[in-house]
A and B are shown apart, each in its own frame.
Chain A
Amino acid sequence: MAKNILETQDLKAYFGNKQILKGINLAFLSNTVTAIIGPSGCGKSTFIRSINRINDLIPNFRIEGNIIFNDQDIHDKNVDEVDLRRKVGMVFQRPNPFPKSIYDNIAYGFNIYGIKDKYTIDAAVENSLKKVALWEEVKNNLSQNALTLSGGQQQRLCFARALAIEPEVLLLDEPCSAIDPISTAKIEELIHQLKKNYTIIIVTHNMQQAARVSDYTAFFLLGELIEFGKTDGIFTAPKDKRTEAYITGRFG
């Protein structure tokens, strides 16, 4: 039986005095893909960057409300944000591989966890590169600097890097906004397959993409959650006028 792996309760976020999120209540079922759509500046990036507490690194950033992950508040004193981030992986807007070899990029997640066993790491490198369909392209050049890969390859490497440490939730912050259409198609295919094992939250600008990859869709506007529901429902029969206006392209 599917359960809510992640839930936000009245989530408010601020940068200094500026309120970005105005009380978001959302629940995410495990092994589903949820798309978050909305015009620029609606707070969708801030929202998912709050879930793995990566925004906490920014000075002036402040959060109110609760984010419950596996029945525990992620801001609870007993929760270590480092642990949290291993369970909630993330892929960013722009591919951001480390300026190291392809192999080292993936091995990093193991190194920092003190795992040195070469056999384990080798297996994980191969496995995760296969998952993102990059293995065939790079298997003979694993020691090559990751920055020499094309943008699409770099982004798939970032997926592989995130998957290698086997998170439960995968946060995707507009993962296709900086890459070409062919790579985008490959990544969408990848998201489909990953759904079997992961819970995925994807922020996207592209409504066709949201419709193609997601089971559920949430529409954000000016820091508020306007509408949430099954993707089919949102795109065919939106309940809110503003959602309708957005998905029919009247603004945003």
Chain B
Amino acid sequence: MNRKALNNFWDKLFKLLGITSISFGLLVLLALIIDVIIDGYPRITLNFFKSFPSRKPEMAGILSAWVGTIWIMVITALISIPIGIGAGIYLEEYAPKNKFTNFIEINIANLAGVPSVIYGLLGLGFFVRYMNLDRSVLAGGLTLALLVLPVIILSTREALRAIPSSIREASYALGATKWQTIRNQLLPAAIGNILTGIILAMSRAMGETAPLITVGALTYIAFLPQNPVIIKDSFPFMGISFQGLFDPFTVLPIQIYNWVSRPQKGFITDAAAGIMVLLILTLIMNSIAIFLRYQNQKRVRW
């Protein structure tokens, strides 16, 4: 072989290796999805969504799990989104370049890498014990809010950084204050990318198991947190209750974990069905995020 052909050969070989490497993970993902569908498909019925867990696998369902997941996600979102965006804005637009800011930055980068189970210990020590919230929905939601905060902060910062400084200058030159510039120009321009980050953060929160186990979510629960909307017989016929915040809870991934660790074959089917639900939700959220990002990239650039 001459040199050119040899080079060409190696080049092609590496290309093949690259494609194989990339396909490997994706093929495993495919195998995983198929495996779960085969195992769990028979259990996907309406009753599965309407039933509490049970000692008998064929009677068991995910009612308390999905309701708990919604509770946790709502609390996590309500706390982490405003604080995360606020922190991102401060760090990107206000923070002076000094040692302290640098420290906050390292700190956030580190928090993003702290194992989630450690957040669980923080939640257990602080929310459950110190603040006496007990093993409640609120304690779980607060814990996950702290967990996803770095993700939202980092995506807010990136979104703001992508806006050219000429937009800031134009706004200031017209006599806008800093907050007016942020509110009227920067946030509207960045919101698409921030939203992408938020959805990814929420998808992460939905799949988290370990910190909630540590905080003390129950693995077997046959009731729901108190419904926040109460129907009454008399005027105004409706009321709002926050009692549910202090009730015990479980979430979808914990329910799945509970079923996986049982020896009976029937529970494996339940676990697989639960995973199908969780995976579909995760896929939907991630697809929305990816689509949104794609839309943002396509939009007219300045």
Look across to chain B and name the residue whose beta carbon is closest to the beta carbon of A55: B169
A54, B169: Cβ atoms under 8 Å?
yes
User: Which residues of B does A touch, CB under 8 Å?
Assistant: 96-97, 164, 166-177, 180, 184-185, 188-189, 300-302
| A41 on interface, CB distance cutoff 8 Å | no
Shortest distance from the beta carbon of A138 to any chain B beta carbon, whole Å: 16
B97, A59: Cβ atoms under 8 Å?
yes
**CB contact under 8 A between A147 and B300, given known A59-B96, A82-B177:** yes
A92, B300: Cβ atoms under 8 Å?
no
Shortest distance from the beta carbon of A220 to any chain B beta carbon, whole Å: 21
B173, A112: Cβ atoms under 8 Å?
no
A57 contacts which chain B residues (CB < 8 A)? 168-169, 172
| Residues of chain A in range 143-162 having any CB-CB distance to chain B below 8 Å | 145, 147-148, 158, 161-162
B184 contacts which chain A residues (CB < 8 A)? 108, 111-112
Partner of B166, one of A59, A92, A100, A108: A92
Question: How many residues on chain A are close to B (CB under 8 Å)?
Answer: 29
A96, B174: Cβ atoms under 8 Å?
no
Q: Tally inter-chain residue pairs, CB-CB below 8 A.
A: 72
A202 contacts which chain B residues (CB < 8 A)? none
Shortest distance from the beta carbon of A161 to any chain B beta carbon, whole Å: 7
Shortest distance from the beta carbon of A33 to any chain B beta carbon, whole Å: 19
- Separation of A108 and B167 alpha carbons in the complex (Å): 13
| A233 on interface, CB distance cutoff 8 Å | no
B302, A162: Cβ atoms under 8 Å?
no
Residue picked from A92, A109, A112, most chain B C-beta under 10 Å: A112
Residue picked from A54, A108, A161, most chain B C-beta under 10 Å: A108
- Separation of A145 and B189 alpha carbons in the complex (Å): 13
CB<8 Å pairs between A and B, sample of 15 = A54-B173, A82-B175, A83-B175, A85-B175, A86-B174, A89-B173, A89-B174, A96-B167, A97-B170, A98-B185, A99-B302, A108-B184, A113-B175, A148-B300, A165-B175
| A52 on interface, CB distance cutoff 8 Å | yes
Look across to chain B and name the residue whose beta carbon is closest to the beta carbon of A87: B175
| Residues of chain A in range 168-192 having any CB-CB distance to chain B below 8 Å | none
A98, B166: Cβ atoms under 8 Å?
no
A161 contacts which chain B residues (CB < 8 A)? 170, 174
Residue picked from B164, B175, B301, most chain A C-beta under 10 Å: B175
A112, B302: Cβ atoms under 8 Å?
no
- Separation of A117 and B167 alpha carbons in the complex (Å): 25
A96 contacts which chain B residues (CB < 8 A)? 164, 166-167, 169-170, 302
| Residues of chain A in range 26-75 having any CB-CB distance to chain B below 8 Å | 52, 54, 57, 59
Residue picked from A86, A99, A109, most chain B C-beta under 10 Å: A99
B300, A99: Cβ atoms under 8 Å?
yes
B180, A112: Cβ atoms under 8 Å?
yes
A112, B174: Cβ atoms under 8 Å?
yes
- Looking at chain A's contact residues, the main secondary structure is mixed
- Separation of A109 and B169 alpha carbons in the complex (Å): 13
Look across to chain A and name the residue whose beta carbon is closest to the beta carbon of B97: A59
A86 contacts which chain B residues (CB < 8 A)? 174-175
Look across to chain B and name the residue whose beta carbon is closest to the beta carbon of A57: B172
Shortest distance from the beta carbon of A189 to any chain B beta carbon, whole Å: 23
User: Which residues of A does B touch, CB under 8 Å?
Assistant: 52, 54, 57, 59, 82-83, 85-86, 89-90, 92, 94, 96-100, 108-109, 111-113, 145, 147-148, 158, 161-162, 165
A54-B172, A90-B173, A108-B176 given; 5 more Cβ-contact pairs under 8 Å: A54-B169, A86-B174, A98-B167, A98-B170, A99-B302
Shortest distance from the beta carbon of A96 to any chain B beta carbon, whole Å: 4
A111 contacts which chain B residues (CB < 8 A)? 184
B176 contacts which chain A residues (CB < 8 A)? 82, 108, 112
B170, A158: Cβ atoms under 8 Å?
yes
- Separation of A129 and B241 alpha carbons in the complex (Å): 55
- Separation of A98 and B166 alpha carbons in the complex (Å): 9
A165 contacts which chain B residues (CB < 8 A)? 174-175
- Separation of A113 and B180 alpha carbons in the complex (Å): 10
- Separation of A136 and B110 alpha carbons in the complex (Å): 56
A162, B166: Cβ atoms under 8 Å?
no
B164 contacts which chain A residues (CB < 8 A)? 96
Shortest distance from the beta carbon of B117 to any chain A beta carbon, whole Å: 39
- Separation of A65 and B55 alpha carbons in the complex (Å): 83
- Separation of A187 and B169 alpha carbons in the complex (Å): 21
In order of increasing CB-CB distance, the 6 nearest A-B pairs are A86-B175, A96-B166, A90-B173, A85-B175, A147-B300, A96-B170
- Separation of A158 and B302 alpha carbons in the complex (Å): 14
A52 contacts which chain B residues (CB < 8 A)? 173
Shortest distance from the beta carbon of A226 to any chain B beta carbon, whole Å: 28
A92, B174: Cβ atoms under 8 Å?
no
- Separation of A96 and B168 alpha carbons in the complex (Å): 9
Shortest distance from the beta carbon of B159 to any chain A beta carbon, whole Å: 14
- Separation of A181 and B185 alpha carbons in the complex (Å): 30
Shortest distance from the beta carbon of A47 to any chain B beta carbon, whole Å: 16
- Separation of A100 and B302 alpha carbons in the complex (Å): 11
- Separation of A100 and B176 alpha carbons in the complex (Å): 16
B301 contacts which chain A residues (CB < 8 A)? 147
A147 contacts which chain B residues (CB < 8 A)? 300-302
